[in-house]
Structure formats: structure tokens, C-alpha cells
């Protein structure tokens, strides 16, 4: 076992990958996860390197554990050294220190992960994890709901009490864009400056947190709310949590919902 595999968060990372697959949010090679680590891997020699189109920026010198491109999340726990890549981030390239033993590259969404990590670190120094998954009900929601940050957030907040508790900063929404590009990475990161959850219309969601369980838990809460909306929206006059009730909830829990959204 390597020093990396002995880290408690490594096991949590691998379990999160399996859970995303088990939920049906990572069909085939869909979905990807990454986690920032302190550079404590000086004993590992670089195996090869990959260019970073957008540059590492504030992440230069840090290490990043990320799923590999084309790898299946269901296989991460079974063979992490094949499915994962441990990268040391340089100015314009990433050195592979461990992983991808059977070849391959880091996730095609590496740019989106790097830019999102940088944005979240500015907002929260405890930030560590970004995950991308094809959360079924959230993807469906983007097909039937106005693609507006405030409107979609208020819909999710109104579906179940936990939503305001776990994402008082709201949800960011992007229109459909080609995936795997610097463009969608930059747009995602811009939303991540003010919230931890970003939806890609007709595709999936990006969630950020202090660790894999935190980021996955955020996505679970939001997807459950989207499921409840889809289950009840066809009924006449569905009873939902109103604005006054949301204000009472925020006051009771000492929360500060996104300014101007209530």
C-alpha cells in the first residue's frame, strides 16, 4: 500500500466513486471526481506529464487526485491504480506521480476541475473536492424548468427542508455547452465563486465540498429535491415550502440565504 492509499480520504474518495455509479449517475465512463492534496509525495518520481491548457494558476505546486479519462467509476475501488491519477500541478503541465498504470490520461474535464478548485479555494480555504455526475433528476429538471439560477434554486428550496440547510448559497445553472472544453470549465468556475453546486443543462452537475462525502451529500440532497418536484409538479396546487416559511427556517438555523433570492 502506498502512502496515498493509506490516507483516510483516499478510501472515502473511492467509495464515493462507487456510490455515484450505484446510483446510476455514471453510466459507462460518465462522471469524474478530483481531490486536492498537500504535496507530501516527494518520494514519487514523475512517470510522465500532461499539458494544462488553462494553466494551474493558484493551484501550482499542489497535488490532485483525479479519475482517468475513459475510466469507469465502478472500477475505482477494485483497481484504483488503473482508474485514478495523482498529479503534481506545475505552471502549464501536470506530472503523473501515481496511477493510470495501464495507460490513459486524466479526465477530459480536468480543466473544469482545476478552475472550479481555484474558485472554491478563494471562497473556502477548507475546500478539497469537486465531483461531476449525471444526477438523473437534476438533469431531468433542466429539461422542464427555466434555466435561471434564482428561479431553479427557489424551486429546489421549496421542495424539502434540507435544501436551504445544505445549499443556502443556491445553485448555478449553465445552458447546454460542449463538455470537456475550457469554455465550460471557465463558466462553471465563475458560478462556483458564489455557490457549491452547478448544473449543466441536459448533462449533469458539478458539486464541491470539503471532502468526497460532503460533495456527494450535497448532490444527493439536490437530486432528491429535483425528484420530488418531478413527482409532484403535475398535481393541482401542490403544497410546497413558501418564502415566509423559508425565512423562518433560515432564522431558526442562523442561515444567510443568497442575498436577494428570498
Looking at residue 80, the DSSP 8-state letter turns out to be H
Provide the CA 71 distance to its chain's centre, in angstroms. 17
- Among candidates 134, 124, 120, 61, which has minimal Cα distance to 94? 61
Q: 413527482: which residue's cell?
A: 231
Q: Which three cell numbers stand for residue 45?
A: 518520481
* H helices present in 58-109, as ranges: 80-83
- Do residues 57 and 91 make contact, with C-beta atoms less than 8 angstroms apart? no
The H or E element spanning position 48 is strand 48-51
Tell me: pLDDT of 55 over 80.
no
The predicted-structure confidence for 214-243, as pLDDT tens digits, reads as follows 999 999 999 999 999 999 988 877 788 999
- Taking each helix axis from N to C terminus, what angle separates 212-232 and 136-144, rounded to the nearest 10 degrees? 50
The one catalytic residue in 109, 162, 190, 227 is 109
**Cα separation values, 77 from 11, 132, 166, 167, Å:** 8, 17, 28, 29
Work out the average pLDDT over 30-57.
87
Work out the average pLDDT over 55-66.
88
Tell me: pLDDT of 84 over 90.
yes
The predicted-structure confidence for 110-144, as pLDDT tens digits, reads as follows 999 999 999 999 999 999 999 999 999 999 999 99
CA distance 15 to 190: 29
- The domain ranges of the chain are 8-253
Q: At 1, is the pLDDT very low, low, confident or very high (cuts 50, 70, 90)?
A: low
Q: Which three cell numbers stand for residue 83?
A: 482508474
Q: What is 8-253's CATH number?
A: 3.40.225.10
CA distance 220 to 218: 5
**pTM score over 0.95:** no
Work out the average pLDDT over 196-213.
98
Task: Determine whether 109 is an active site residue.
Answer: yes
Relative to beta strand 84-89, strand 172-174 is unpaired
Write down the mean pLDDT value for the chain: 94
CA distance 191 to 197: 8
Amino acid at each position: 500500500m502506498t502512502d496515498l492509499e493509506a490516507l483516510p480520504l483516499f478510501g472515502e474518495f473511492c467509495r464515493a466513486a462507487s456510490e455515484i455509479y450505484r446510483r446510476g449517475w455514471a453510466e459507462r465512463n460518465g462522471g469524474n471526481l478530483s481531490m486536492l492534496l498537500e504535496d507530501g509525495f516527494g518520494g514519487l518520481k514523475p512517470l510522465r506529464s500532461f499539458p494544462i491548457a488553462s494553466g494551474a494558476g493558484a493551484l501550482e505546486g499542489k497535488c490532485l487526485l483525479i479519475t482517468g479519462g475513459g475510466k469507469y467509476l465502478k472500477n475505482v475501488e477494485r483497481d484504483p491504480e488503473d482508474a485514478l491519477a495523482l498529479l503534481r500541478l506545475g505552471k502549464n503541465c501536470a506530472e503523473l506521480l501515481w496511477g493510470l498504470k495501464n495507460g490513459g490520461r486524466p479526465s477530459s474535464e480536468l480543466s473544469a476541475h482545476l478552475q472550479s478548485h481555484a474558485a472554491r479555494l478563494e471562497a473556502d480555504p477548507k475546500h478539497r473536492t469537486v465531483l461531476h455526475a449525471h444526477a438523473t433528476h437534476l438533469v431531468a429538471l433542466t429539461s422542464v424548468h427555466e434555466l435561471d439560477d434564482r428561479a431553479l434554486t427557489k424551486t429546489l428550496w421549496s421542495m424539502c427542508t434540507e435544501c436551504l440547510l445544505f445549499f443556502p448559497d443556491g445553485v448555478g445553472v449553465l445552458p447546454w455547452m460542449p463538455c470537456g472544453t475550457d469554455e465550460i470549465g471557465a463558466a462553471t468556475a465563475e458560478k462556483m465563486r458564489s455557490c457549491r453546486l452547478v448544473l449543466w443543462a441536459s448533462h449533469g452537475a458539478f458539486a464541491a465540498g470539503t471532502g468526497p462525502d460532503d460533495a456527494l451529500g450535497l448532490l444527493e440532497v439536490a437530486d432528491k429535491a429535483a425528484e420530488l418536484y418531478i413527482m409532484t409538479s403535475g398535481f393541482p396546487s401542490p403544497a410546497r415550502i413558501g418564502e415566509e416559511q423559508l425565512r423562518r427556517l433560515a432564522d431558526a438555523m442562523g442561515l444567510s440565504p443568497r442575498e436577494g433570492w428570498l
